[in-house]
Amino acid sequence: MATNDFQPVYGMTDIGPPEVYTWQQVEEQARKVLNKYGFDEVRTPIVERNEVFVRSLGDTTDIVQKEMFTFVDRGDRQLTLRPEGTAGVIRYVASCGQDALNGRFYYVGPMFRAERPQAGRRRQFHQFGVEMIGAALPALDAECIALQAHLLSEWGLSKFTVNINTRGLPEDIAKVGEGLRKMLSPHRGQLCADCQRRFEQNILRVLDCKEAGCQEMIKDLPPMTDFMADDSKRYFAEVLRFLELLKVDVKLNPRLVRGLDYYVHTVFEITHGGLGSQDALSGGGRYQISFGDRTIPGVGFAIGLERVIVALQSEQTQKWEQSHGVPLWFISLGTKAFEENLKLAMIWRRKGLPCALDMEGRSLKAQMRAASGRGAKWVVIRGDREIEQGLFQLKDLQTGVQEELDLPALLSKLAAAQIHNFGAPLM
Ligand code: HAM
């Protein structure tokens, strides 16, 4: 087998120990926080009909035009690996009864975008996302942003900035587009190739183009709100007022537009100083998505979990557990002892004590090596004599002290060492 045969697909990554333990803790903490806000988890399929994304994200967006993994299945249907979570959740909400129209949902899982892989950008990545379904209310948008800041600080992150802007309503977006087109048309030839295309199809995206030439051209443009109706400006002012009330620091960024067409009113992006060039930790905003004759309004965000892990490493504020390990190993000398240890390990695990044993009948030395390799603090050694006499050799691997104990003495020793208090009778 060539070395490449062992590699995952280009732009996709295995997540194993010890890093996977950080992932588990990050996800667990996120669930705890979301429970405090009364959210339900939702698990939608990874594969959706292609039009679920085309219609919600917009057919001129970068994701739909160049980044989706789309394929034809055996029944000639066009299917897509989800590039983001919002469209699937809203399809699910549209399929439910009235109750879901005030639902608060979160999700966690892999997303897929055929982007050019680089640091912080993968073709399979993971999002922790939140969708708060409900009509446009400034307090809801502010709560959504405050919740996000709460979640990040619960993870131990502090070096982040909440960038915020408004796109107004679809009518405003059309007016902003018209105004921008007028102002930029004399300089159109100087825009980058992507922005030449965006000029016709999605002019707002020119505003957040990172190319130096385009930056030069857009730096003196008026803020988008200049083109908007008073109601939309008032809505945004209310969002900002609620954020002040909730003591969430935000930075107004009049160039922030976000790359998805479903957004209306409030949009935001959280950046983090430890992330390098792909510095967006999360993004979101208020949206309106239509399925059939139903238009579902909501506000939400998605946090890139790969980027959270990098941000945590850069801040190093919290020591994340690197392995669950097992505190106790059984060492078996002979077949009889092995069978008895195998039975006892099953019983003890059911009672809540994590423990393990060697299955291969290896030498005492090899079993001891395996035990300390997996982080065990104690080993219980048994051979034919111990089985016959109901005894246990308990060795403390930190001190090297070994004692011969009967079962009650062993259990009280384990309880005293706070490894486990069985409480209930053992057998
Ligand atoms: P998004 O800005 O496209 O928004 O993605 C959210 C986050 O996912 C980004 O800030 C980033 O952390 C992470 N991310 C995106 N692409 C990649 C990639 N190729 N590699 C690694 N991480 C990546 C959305 O997906 C919207 N659905 C968010 C939302 C929810 N809006 C409303 N509700």
Whether the Cβ atoms of residue 323 and residue 373 lie closer than 8 Å to each other = no
300 lines ligand 1 (CB under 6 A): yes
11 lines ligand 1 (CB under 6 A): no
Q: Point out the ligand 1 atom lying closest to the alpha carbon of residue 287.
A: 32
Least confident of 155-169, 208-222, 257-271, 352-366: 208-222
Nearest-CA residue for atom 20 of ligand 1: 121
261 lines ligand 1 (CB under 6 A): no
What is the 286 CA–ligand 1 centroid distance (Å)?
A: 14
Rg (C-alpha) for the chain, rounded Å, is: 28
C-alpha to C-alpha distances, 302 to 63, 353, 399, nearest whole angstrom? 15, 37, 48
pLDDT band at residue 427, thresholds of 50, 70 and 90? very low
Give the closest residue to 276 by CA, choosing from 305, 309, 311, 301.
Answer: 311
What is the 301 CA–ligand 1 centroid distance (Å)?
A: 8
Highest averaged pLDDT of the listed ranges 79-88, 309-318, 407-416: 79-88
The secondary element (H helix, E strand) that includes residue 159 is none
- The predicted model scores a pTM of 0.92
Give the closest residue to 85 by CA, choosing from 50, 44, 115, 55.
Answer: 44
138 lines ligand 1 (CB under 6 A): no
What is the 199 CA–ligand 1 centroid distance (Å)?
A: 24
Quick one: tokens of 58? 């917009």
> Residues 3-25: what's their mean pLDDT?
92
298 lines ligand 1 (CB under 6 A): no
> Residues 333-341: what's their mean pLDDT?
97
Residue positions counted in the chain: 427
**3-state SS class at 334:** coil
Read off the pLDDT of residues 64-82 as tens digits, 9 standing for 90 and up: 999 999 999 999 999 999 9
In 57-176, the DSSP E strands lie at 69-72, 78-81, 104-112, 124-133, 160-166
281 lines ligand 1 (CB under 6 A): yes
Quick one: tokens of 271? 């950046």
pLDDT band at residue 380, thresholds of 50, 70 and 90? very high
256 lines ligand 1 (CB under 6 A): no
pLDDT of residue 334: 96
Which among 307, 308, 310, 312 is the best mutation to test ligand 1's pocket, defined by most ligand atoms within 8 Å of the CB? 307
420: Cβ contacts below 8 Å, ≥ 6 apart? 348, 351, 352, 353, 414
